[in-house]
Each structure stands twice: as C-alpha cells, then as structure tokens.
Amino acid sequence: MDNILLAVNGTLMRGLELNSNLLAVGATFVREAFTEPNYRLWSIDDRHPAMIRVSSGGSAIAIEVWAVPTIGIPTILLQEPPGLCIGKVRLTDGEEVLGVLGEPIICQGKREITHWGNWRTYIANISHNKT
C-alpha cells in the first residue's frame, strides 16, 4: 500500500483530540519537524489551529510528519473541521510534503498564535491560565 507524507500542526497530532482519525486509516508517526519560517498560525476559537503560508512575517511552526495510506487521505480531510484543507508544506530541511492548512477566510478575526510556535504550547498556556 502506498503512503503519502502528511504534515499536521494541530488536533491530529499524537495524543490530541483528532489523532484517532490518523490511526483509524493506518497512518504511522514518522517524525517531529518544523516548517520553513514562512508560516503563521491562528487559533480558531481555541478548538483547532489554522496554518497559512505567507510571503513575509512568518515563523517556523512545529509539526508532526505522518505516513498516511493514500486511500486514507480523503477520509482524514473529510473529518477535519470546516475551513481546513490539504496543501503543500515546506519543511526546514527543504523537503516539501502535503500538510493540513487553513483557508485564509477562517483566520479573519481570530487570534494569531504564531509567536507560540505550535498548537501544543498554545493550548497548554490557555489551559494553565484557566486554572
């Protein structure tokens, strides 16, 4: 069975809410990595992030790379929240893989969290501040 590398930056990551969606299609964790420093990250109502590639003002975002059976990609995408899509993501080592990105419209008026560097750090901070 052919696999496609998929970069995930939010709730699909190991131990998070939607990770079971990856596991259900037979995906396997490959490695942790960072995007090249051309991405920005937003919190969509503190439920999930949306990452967008930008021409300036971006940062390197921590992601996970998963090997996903080709036939599982549509299943994963259809289970993602509205406004998330699959596109190409460039990693710091120059590799280009498919990844979960946000449509720019869902980021309008939402909290930018790029400075946190990743979704895990952001949600840990908001959870800590709620206690």
Residue 111 structural domain: 3-130
Contact status, residue 13 vs residue 64, Cβ threshold 8 Å: yes
- pLDDT value, residue 90: 97
pLDDT band at 126 (very low <50, low <70, confident <90, very high): confident
Domains in the chain: how many in total?
1
Residue 127 — very low, low, confident or very high, per pLDDT cuts 50/70/90? Answer: confident
d(CA 86, CA 98): 6
Q: Where are the alpha helices (DSSP H) in the chain?
A: 19-24, 73-79, 104-107, 119-130
CATH number at residue 17: 3.10.490.10
Residue 14 vs residue 126, higher pLDDT: 14
Sheet architecture: strand order including 96-102: 28-34, 62-69, 3-8, 96-102, 84-90
Give the pLDDT confidence of 36-93 residue by residue, as tens digits.
999 999 999 999 999 999 999 999 999 999 999 999 999 999 999 999 999 999 999 9
What average pLDDT does the chain have? 95
- Name residue, tokens 């930018």: 112
Q: What's the pTM value of the predicted model, to 2 decimals?
A: 0.93
Strand ordering across the sheet containing 111-112 = 48-53, 39-44, 111-112
